Amino acid sequence: MKITKDTRVLVLTGAGISAESGLKTFRDAGGLWENHRVEDVATPEAFRKAPAMVWKFYKERWQQALQTKPNPGHLALAKLEDWLQDNFYLITQNVDGLHTAAGNKRVIEMHGSLNTCLCTRCSHHFPIKDINLEEDIPLCPKCKGMLRPDIVWFGEIPYHLDKIDALLHNCDVFMMIGTSGVVYPAAGFVMTASYFGAHTIAVNLNPMENGDFIDEFHQGKAGEILPQLIDGWINSAEK
């Protein structure tokens, strides 16, 4: 399919693209994330049971993300958005902020962000950099309620699903990058996009669980494949 500046491109990224920048995924070690069981750091029950321990974990993840830089895959997607402008949107399952750091602006963080937190009492959001992280359990500057990381944990509903659904219904090309195609609802996005007529493309190290809905599969690292793929689209369209 020929991609032009009028092509509406919707991208979904998963942990694989961040892994190329050195960030570990919980699937790397049999359900462990940085040597923690996911159930102990990524569920509402874990936060109710041990909020200080959960906060310690996410403070460390935030510091780690600050030391991490976007890779060529991130930069290629920023270049694609710069070319397509309003015809581009990026949905990410990642919480590290690397797409924004690379220069993407139309980013939908469906699982939240390490860069923000929210109050469990008044629901206000705050940048992590503005919060007193010396406290074991940081408190809301407005109401003194308990803050929590702005992360969508297992058992919670992802953000922006209505907007994502509308984009899936109206895109011409849907790309999946660095995602296993296992975790729902994101794993179902390609089915929706395909049903409504989108050309579907995947870039991943391994074949994906929802491969039956993928029209074009590129196996390998996003940081190696995306720069060539996207430069090819742009150069072809501008000839």
Residues labelled catalytic: 111
Cβ neighbours of residue 49 under 8 Å, at least 6 residues apart? none
CA 84, CA 72: separation in Å to the nearest integer? 18
CA 128, CA 125: separation in Å to the nearest integer? 9
β pairing state of 112-119 and 199-204: unpaired
The reply to whether omega before 185 is within 30° of 0 (cis) is: yes
Residue 6: exposed, middle, or buried by beta-carbon count in 10 A (0-12, 13-18, 19+)? exposed
